[in-house]
Amino acid sequence: MRQFFLIAFRNLAAHRTRNLMLAGAIGFTSLVLTLLLGVTAGIQGTLKEATMTLHSGSLNVNGFYKLSAGSWAPFCNRRKALMDDVKAVMPDAVQVIDRYISYGKVVAEKANL
């Protein structure tokens, strides 16, 4: 096994230029990928924020809570307190809409919906 490592080390030492070019290419590719992923995440976040603001107004209050270990739903147990907080934060709001968005599950003998 020691002989294999010695041969590999001599091969790397003999071809320094090739190794440096390969390391540079891998580093440059990683840099470009990281920069593009950052730009994409920024654009996606900005689009989501702008779309939600245009779609529903200046302030959105929502949350997904686990009702049980196996289910999730947009459930709010402090609706009155949250509405009071929203009115305190935005006293000049013309209209506050409570959408009562909810999810349900219908279970039958042969299928779920």
pLDDT in tens, 58-69: 566 665 556 666
Pick the residue with more confidence: 85 or 52? 85
Range of the domain at 73: 61-113
52 plus 2 within the same structural domain: yes
52 plus 65 within the same structural domain: no
CB 96 within 8 A of CB 83: yes
11 plus 48 within the same structural domain: yes
Number of compact structural domains in the chain: 2
4 plus 43 within the same structural domain: yes
39 plus 73 within the same structural domain: no
Q: For position 38, what pLDDT does the model report? A: 97
Convert the pLDDT of each residue in 24-39 to its tens digit: 999 999 999 999 999 9
Whether the pLDDT of residue 45 is over 80: the answer is: yes
67 plus 51 within the same structural domain: no
